Amino acid sequence: MTRTHCPYCALQCGTRLEVSPQGLTVSPDEDFPVNAGRLCLKGWTAARVLAAPDRLTSPLMRPRPGTAQRPVSWETALDHVGAELRRIVRAHGPDAVAVFGGGGLTNEKAYTLGKFARVALGTSQIDYNGRFCMSSAAAAGSAAFGLDRGLPFPVTDLASADVVLLAGANVAETMPPLMQHLAGADLIVVDPRRSATAERAALHLSPAPGTDLALALGLLHAAVVEGHLDHDYVAQRTSGFDEAWRRAAEWWPERTERVTGVPVADQFAAVRMLAAAKRSYVLTGRGAEQHSKGTDTVSAYINLALALGMPGREGSGYGCLTGQGNGQGGREHGQKADQLPGYRRITDPAARAHVAGVWGVDPGDLPGAGPSGYELLDSLGRPGGPRALLVFGSNPVVSAPAARGIAERLAALDLLVVADFVPSETVRTADVVLPVTQWAEEDGTMTNLEGRVLRRRRAIDPPPGVRSDLWVLRELAVRLGQPGERFPDDPGDVFAELRRASAGGLADYSGIEPEYLGSTMDAVDAAGPAGPAYWPYPAGGTPTPRLFLERFAHDDGRARFRAVGHRDAAELPDGTYPLHATTGRVLAQYQSGAQTRRVPESMEADGEAFVEVHPDTARRNGLTEGRLARVVSRRGATVARVRTVASLRTDTVFLPFHFPGAGRANLITNPALDPVSRMPEFKVCAVRLEPLGTGATTGSGEL
């Protein structure tokens, strides 16, 4: 039996793996407090993907552009990639090569990927799909508290809550085991849909898509005018309230109702519930973030929590529900365009000097900050843009906004290299494919949504011919002229170096002592002398399960209100596109679906693209339950099966984003970017509906 963690969301549920002649089986780990013996459908069936019939086990390469991918040896594939990268860099400079990572990579992989880009390639062109996940919450949390950790308290603290406000988070479907910790609380759910989580709420607030910021401002207004402002807390522990209040004062309840559709009575009810509770939390998710004003929206919810005196108090607080498995650790250690390991800013001379010293290079040789995720992808193959791209742990053909355009950008490259373990939609477009190990086949560490560093344990051997991402990066680095010892491929060695690189940074892992890792990476998540390894964990110090109890991370120890004002979504409905479309997840599928669409149980539960429509809206547009429809925006159209939902707003349709082909929801989404976080506006765009004949298909069954 091997104890490890689920490969999917950022709960990182504890699991036990058993190997038998029948294969690998998964069961929940009752001793791990985050899931306490529970798993969702994805966790129970996680081992199925490892044995997928189309699992990649040999490198693939196109002999010539336009030809089919063919199996080749590792030496042939790596030599070709190395030669092409050297040629492109010689001809066009280091920034002609780009790297795109993923929030599911282990800490060791994310760290090495950032180091590889900046040292072996010398490129500034690196970002990752976490830019599409919670970059707005990271920006807002850093501005407010001086430090970004998804939950600045253990998940288990939520079990004592009296009231929890969930803004844009459908945890009953996206993180089902979390619901056990919310069972004793009255839930206030902010969501345009009556989601599975909203069904369990004491109060459901249903704003029009794109008006979340106005609602958050209105809730702060209601809190202040009703006398719920915690004056002592605001005076002693915060700064900037007056300016933030001046902006919120414009959002009296009637105006908020007119813009958002949320009744005045419900606004006051929500505030009264939070203010009356002894223990209360505000939690935000993707529904609040994935907007062209997502940073401001999250800031407005943080302002509400600060006004009520919640952050930094045991038993209350604000947190962000990180989405991807290593969404927290994945952005801390260097695969994000503007950051170096330890959550250091790449523009900070002291940070550059420290990390360069660990890496054994000159600080002046490190590139500066590059473009954000969507901007990077959209620049591929354009004049002056990157001519080669290396992708690790991402499927942008399905997951990027305005996805058809991104597919065209990938096709315009001189070289596309993808490291993956199944033939995702992005893999199928690649010039070179490198088959790599997965969660049960490797050691490493992950950092879950509460900032707890966890052990990923190897339970089985990978298929013959499959290599680790760390090995791939070392072999490519050597072919680019780097000494092999600069890029170790043992996860324990990489973690030891990561500790040194993170030392003194905001995300300091240096106190996670080597004896808790050892040559086999032994038991990071087991309690050491000071307990579980919550960062920051400085050398010689102790872990930090609860942040901000005495002071916030700004120099003066105070949290910052951030003055924000509402603005419309980048695109509003009109006569041609009269409806809002919003996107999200469903219980059975995960992210771009490349993994879960290979699991029979997931496909039985939700196996093709669908669109939820109010029955009246369906009738007005000539749609029939169970038939196909086209959902059309200014960027393109997607095909989906109609599901009529009486609880849905009549001005809104909902599509899950897990499906490929003609069913890609991201064929219609808007790439308008948040000016701070550079998050695309996945959660709202203007669309129209058109019925389709019986011969049409969603293409969602493609694998």
Query: What is the C-alpha separation between 616 and 623, in angstroms, rounded?
Result: 10
* Average pLDDT over every residue of 538-558: 96
Instruction: Give the separation between CA 646 and CA 576, rounded to whole angstroms.
Output: 24
- Domain boundary at 492, 516, 540, which? 516
694 confidence band (pLDDT: 50, 70, 90)? low
pLDDT for the residue 701: 56
Q: Residue 702: its pLDDT value, please?
A: 55
Q: What is the sign of the dihedral through the CA atoms of 545, 345, 107 and 177? A: positive
269 and 152, same structural domain?
yes
Cβ burial of 44 (10 Å; 0-12, 13-18, 19+) is middle
Q: Is residue 379 part of a domain?
A: yes
Residue with tokens 């999250």: 298
Does the pLDDT value for residue 525 go beyond 60?
A: no
The verdict on 143 and 287 lying in the same domain is yes
Does residue 355 lie in a domain region? Answer: yes
Task: Give yes or no for residue 21 having a pLDDT over 90.
Answer: no
In a domain, 278, yes or no: yes
Would you say residue 532 lies in a domain?
A: no
**Chain-centroid distance, C-alpha 301:** 19
Same domain, 156 and 291: yes
Domains in the chain, number? 4
Asked if residue 520 has pLDDT above 60, the reply is: no
pLDDT at 153 over 80: yes
The answer to whether residues 404 and 344 belong to one domain is yes
What is the reported pLDDT for 612? 98
The DSSP output letter for 4 is E
pLDDT bucket at 501, cuts 50 / 70 / 90: very high
Whether residue 570 is contained in a domain is answered as no
Which tens digit of pLDDT belongs to each residue from 259-318? 999 999 999 999 999 999 999 999 999 999 999 999 999 999 999 999 999 999 999 999
Q: What is the CATH number of the domain that holds 44?
A: 2.20.25.90
pLDDT at 698: 74
Tokens 């087991």 correspond to 526
Q: What pTM does this model have? A: 0.95
Are residues 79 and 199 both part of a single domain? no
Q: What is the CATH number of the domain that holds 354?
A: 3.40.50.740
pLDDT mean over 565-570: 97
Can you tell me the distance from the alpha carbon of 658 to that of 603, in angstroms, rounded to the nearest whole number?
Answer: 11
Q: What is the DSSP letter of 536?
A: P
Query: How far apart (Å, rounded) are the C-alpha atoms in residues 288 and 214?
Result: 11
Sign of the CA dihedral running 295, 300, 303, 308: negative
Q: Is residue 563 one of the residues assigned to a domain?
A: no
Bridging pattern class, strands 670-673 and 163-167: unpaired
Q: What is the CATH number of the domain that holds 200?
A: 3.40.228.10
Q: What integer is the mean pLDDT of 609-622? A: 98
Q: In sequence order, what are the beta bridge partners of 453? A: 447
Statement to judge: residues 623 and 585 lie in one domain:
yes
Structure tokens at 167: 């803004």
Query: The domain containing residue 473 runs over which residues?
Result: 60-132+326-516
Residue 373 lies in a domain: yes
Spatial contact of 629 and 642, defined as CB atoms under 8 Å apart: yes
Asked whether residue 18 falls in the same domain as residue 144, the answer is no
161 is written with which tokens? 């809550």
| Same structural domain, 492 and 503 | yes
What is the pLDDT at residue 134? 86
CATH number of the domain within which 683 lies: 2.40.40.20
Inter-residue contact 251 to 266 (CB < 8 Å): no
Domain-embedded: residue 573: no
Contact, 686 vs 671, CB < 8 A? no
The domain boundary residue, chosen from 262, 296, 321: 321
Together in a domain, 168 and 185: yes
Looking at the fold, whether 161 and 122 belong to one and the same domain comes out as no
pLDDT tens-digit readout, 118-150: 999 999 999 999 999 889 999 999 999 999 999
Residue 335 and residue 278 share a domain: no
Six token digits for residue 5:
């963690």
**Do 105 and 45 share a domain, yes or no?**
no
Ranges of H-type helices in 189-276 = 196-199, 212-225, 231-237, 241-248, 253-260, 264-276
Residue where a domain stops, chosen among 273, 294, 321: 321
Q: What's residue 323's pLDDT? A: 85
